[in-house]
Structure 1
Amino acid sequence: MTIAAVITLFFSFLLLLFPPSTAEIKTLTITSDNRPVILLEKFGFTRTGHVSISVSRVSVAGPTSSEAEPSQLGFFLLSKESLLQVLVEIQQNPTFCVLHSRHTLHLCTFRVLSPPPSSSFNHTYPITTPNEYSLFFTNCNPDTAVSMSLRIELFNLNPTLTYLSSAHTHLPSLFFLFSVAYFSFFAFSLSLTKHLLIPSLLLANAINLLSAAALKHRLNLAGTPRASDHILFFLSRFARVVLLFAVVVLVGTRWTFLHPINRKGKTVLFFLIIPLQILAHVAFAVIDKTGPYIQNWVTWNQVFFLLDFISCCAVVVLFASAMLLLRRITSKAQKSEPAMNLDRFSLIRRFYLLVFGYMFFTQFVMLALKELIAYDYQWVSNLIEETVTLMFCFVVLYVFRLLEKDEYSVIGDVEEEEAAENTVKK
């Protein structure tokens, strides 16, 4: 096996950090693909797990296609724990075919294909060792490309047939309970603030979690979600993320729709963060709709995470400049109602630190946590993330109400005075 295969295997397991696809029944077509290793799907199996593989219209093309050995093309399962042993085997013998490794769970090779022209087979394989596995197709024949139609079903029998990975079986109930919590919080927030932005964020969170619960429930029963569930989940997720950034920027730069707008905050939100999030969700839609088998799937994941990370960095830079401004105007603010102003400035600084901490947690800590948690307890990471987000929304509403009481009058006036002074100087 070539160096390209080693690199592909390594980066395929980096995909465990990326958002999983949302169908455990896959119907796909591979056309003239010369990759030595193709990651098809990831799934957590119990002791009653099964893999069903149906292949048809298989063809192998290339200069050496007539000499292609069928036993060198096939499907196997590989656990995360076995990856290192497989990489060592390949390093010791560069021509080694991973299909022959004792560390992989061998399924089948193209020797089981029916004769041309049909060139097909259909078989189900029981999985008796519970673990999270990645399903791969490998082609150890150099300089050849494979074309085929493929249908994959991954499921457990516990005792009824379930298409959800063992790590995700609790997610429908979990998402539904959090959606109820957000709907209740939304109703409560309407009586606390006259602005609708934060209640809108809570409502978007509630709808997004409800749609996620419906999507996972449908996936568990049928193996593929309905198109309507997918569309609602995508739109509500986009609204949830954009509104979260909007609320953070609004509160952090101390401007509302009833207050003269902070120009820097408005520019960053409407001309940087929202366009970045639109592009990020286009990448998310591609990731969610396809799967790891497409050639540019890793690139699309990288684009998604990069755009999301840049959005967070934009907020951090905006808040850093705002903190410098607060430091400059603190001395001026102390001249009128010093105690009130210093308390308000201290509150805003704590809010900045809270936002920094939340972004660091969701961007980095959660990725590390998902890697450390055992595969069948991955739902715990969702529980932690949603709990932290719910608490963050509570704190944002609390801070917003404190600053809203006087319509940001003191801070707003000071900033406007400095802006006016800068304008005069120019």
Structure 2
Amino acid sequence: MASMAASARPILGLALALSIMAVVPSVRAEIRQMEVRSDSRSIIPFDDFGFTRRGGLELNVSGISFSGSADLALSQLGFFLCTPDAWLLVLRQIRDLDITCALQSDHVRIVYEFDRLDPPPNPSGVPVARSTSFGVVNLTDQPGHFTLLFANCLPNLRVSMSVRSAMFNLPEPSRRAFLSAGAAPLPFIYSLLFFAYAALVIAWAAVLFRRRAALFRIHYFMLAVVVLKALNLLCEAEDKSYIERTGSAHGWDVLFYIFSFLKGISLFTLIVLIGTGWSFLKPYLQDREKRVLMAIIPLQVVANIAQVAIDESGRYSSDWITWKQVFLLVDVVCCCAVLFPIVWSIKNLREAARTNGKAAVNLMKLTLFRQYYIVVICYIYFTRVGAYALSNFISYRYLWTSVVAGELATLAFYVFTGYKFRPAAHNPYLTIDDDEEDAAAEALKLDDDAFEL
């Protein structure tokens, strides 16, 4: 039974790491610093990276200490690189008892085994202390998506250490590129998207200037949303470019998080305002609509705090999964919250339209927003689920395509919103002729179900 438990322990550790790797695609990589404190896990994942034709890993570990086991067979401890496909082969070897430790598998790439910490024999007989730190550079010409892991195959042994890892590609012999293969095109892609949104800002500003007579306050708010999105993309492009060159964001991530926060709040607010007809149909919001807006703002604060923790701590830190769950929960709540005011407004006007001709006109205006309501749902679903699912089915080299898909969907949503709600004297979303008011009320009485969502 003891042998079975010992063999099951590394299997469970490897399975856990494999499950994390399977559901979390890698789109960002940089120099990582992690602290391990009294950790007894058999497998500790640190970082993953997509190598191109030539690349490498620079690993620096300090403050190494052990506790909880008297028998230190240091050859059972060490760092290694492994691809997702190799995980399955390693698991099979351990399950079949061909090996007892992942470091023994011929399917992994050994980076450093801890038996090298022991000093060489001293001819003088004076004892020499074991080293507590090391640094190693491991180059590879094998392309693939590799994960850096630490194996601890000694039961009940707790390990403490500080780990600094830098994984990189070598497009030139003397230049390191710290972005993974799947993220390498992102600086260029974000730059193109910035210019696309900059053009959108100019085009929208020109529309507002030419149609000043038909402007509403919400049109200026829409301009502000597009400006914030463009600035967000500009900071993201420079952030990724700086990481590619140096391995760290060096302040650009702060600007990115600021504009990301402002963009998120403004976009959700815009959807609520358009969906309730504010400025188009009425100059005010009802109390419950105001409460939705007041709930979205603190939720967006929490979501952005979670996003910062996710990006800065690394996907394999102890709190990463917790922050990821918080972010997903808050994001889902925000996405659902922006839909309620649309439903409320249509329902209220639908009830009032039975006896009020003017309300019937307003109802016809709001039911025209049904198309927008459906588009909002499709946009939310695709950017939150579709793009994520895409990243799980494509090669590590093309993970940037999931980012492109999500950003193109967002751009299409912005263009659709601007086109449908542009300032125009005869826009069906904004006006209905007075002659149609009686016909609208009569139509509602004859077919009350015509305006169901």
Alignment TM-score > 0.5, same fold: yes
Instruction: Tell me whether 1:184 sits opposite 2:184 in the alignment.
Output: no
Q: Secondary structure at the match of 2:335?
A: helix
Quick one: distance in 2 between partners of 1:337 and 1:52? 68
Q: 1:306 to 1:175 in 2, by over 3 A?
A: same
Quick one: distance in 1 between partners of 2:374 and 2:349? 14
Residue 152 of structure 2 is aligned with which of 126, 139, 144?
A: 139
Instruction: Tell me whether 1:373 sits opposite 2:394 in the alignment.
Output: yes
Per the TM alignment, residue 294 of structure 1 is displaced from its structure 2 partner at its CA by: 2.2
Deviations 1:329-365 (A, max 9, x none): 56567x4697x76763442000000000000101111
Quick one: distance in 2 between partners of 1:36 and 1:371? 26
Residue number in structure 1 paired with 2:4? none
Residue number in structure 1 paired with 2:229? 205
Q: Secondary structure at the match of 2:249?
A: coil
Residue 100 of structure 1 is aligned with which of 76, 95, 104?
A: 104
The residue type equivalent to 1:395 in the other structure is F
Give the unaligned 5+ runs of structure 1: 414-426
The residue type equivalent to 1:354 in the other structure is V
Per the TM alignment, residue 94 of structure 1 is displaced from its structure 2 partner at its CA by: 11
Is the Cα–Cα contact under 8 Å of residues 24 and 153 in structure 1 kept in the other structure? yes
Quick one: distance in 2 between partners of 1:58 and 1:154? 21
Per the TM alignment, residue 402 of structure 1 is displaced from its structure 2 partner at its CA by: 6.0
Residue 400 of structure 1 is aligned with which of 417, 421, 427?
A: 421
Instruction: Tell me whether 1:35 sits opposite 2:59 in the alignment.
Output: no
Deviations 1:54-84 (A, max 9, x none): 222211111x1x2132122111222223333
The residue type equivalent to 1:8 in the other structure is L
Residue 260 of structure 1 is aligned with which of 252, 260, 284?
A: 284
Q: Secondary structure at the match of 2:35?
A: strand
The correspondence of residues 242-391 of structure 1 with structure 2, limited to 5 A, is: 242-256=265-279, 259-270=283-294, 272-325=295-348, 327-328=350-351, 335=357, 344-391=365-412
Q: What percentage of aligned pairs have identical amino acids?
A: 32
Quick one: distance in 2 between partners of 1:222 and 1:138? 29
RMSD value, Cα: 2.9
Residue number in structure 2 paired with 1:221? 245
Per the TM alignment, residue 124 of structure 1 is displaced from its structure 2 partner at its CA by: 1.5
Per the TM alignment, residue 46 of structure 1 is displaced from its structure 2 partner at its CA by: 0.9
The residue type equivalent to 1:363 in the other structure is R
Per the TM alignment, residue 408 of structure 1 is displaced from its structure 2 partner at its CA by: 5.8
Q: Secondary structure at the match of 1:30?
A: strand
Q: TM-score, with normalisation over the residues of structure 2?
A: 0.81
Quick one: distance in 2 between partners of 1:246 and 1:94? 59
Quick one: distance in 2 between partners of 1:106 and 1:69? 17
Is the Cα–Cα contact under 8 Å of residues 41 and 134 in structure 1 kept in the other structure? yes
The residue type equivalent to 1:274 in the other structure is I
Q: 1:403 to 1:255 in 2, by over 3 A?
A: farther
The residue type equivalent to 2:16 in the other structure is T
Q: TM-score, with normalisation over the residues of structure 1?
A: 0.86
Residue number in structure 2 paired with 1:122? 135
Higher Cα Rg: structure 1 or 2?
Answer: 2
Per the TM alignment, residue 301 of structure 1 is displaced from its structure 2 partner at its CA by: 1.1
Quick one: distance in 1 between partners of 2:58 and 2:290? 52
Q: Secondary structure at the match of 2:142?
A: coil
Per the TM alignment, residue 37 of structure 1 is displaced from its structure 2 partner at its CA by: 1.8
Is the Cα–Cα contact under 8 Å of residues 27 and 183 in structure 2 kept in the other structure? no
Is the Cα–Cα contact under 8 Å of residues 273 and 311 in structure 1 kept in the other structure? yes
Q: 1:94 to 1:206 in 2, by over 3 A?
A: farther
Deviations 1:303-326 (A, max 9, x none): 111111121122234444445445
Deviations 1:110-167 (A, max 9, x none): 1222543532222211222211111111212121211112221211111232111111
The residue type equivalent to 1:223 in the other structure is G
Q: 1:54 to 1:91 in 2, by over 3 A?
A: same
Residue number in structure 2 paired with 1:419? none
Q: 1:117 to 1:45 in 2, by over 3 A?
A: same
Instruction: Tell me whether 1:112 sits opposite 2:116 in the alignment.
Output: yes
Per the TM alignment, residue 409 of structure 1 is displaced from its structure 2 partner at its CA by: 7.8
Is the Cα–Cα contact under 8 Å of residues 171 and 216 in structure 1 kept in the other structure? yes
Q: Secondary structure at the match of 2:401?
A: helix
Q: Secondary structure at the match of 1:204?
A: helix
Aligned length: 403
Residue number in structure 1 paired with 2:164? 151
Q: 1:320 to 1:81 in 2, by over 3 A?
A: farther
The residue type equivalent to 1:99 in the other structure is L
Residue number in structure 1 paired with 2:57? 51
The residue type equivalent to 1:127 in the other structure is T
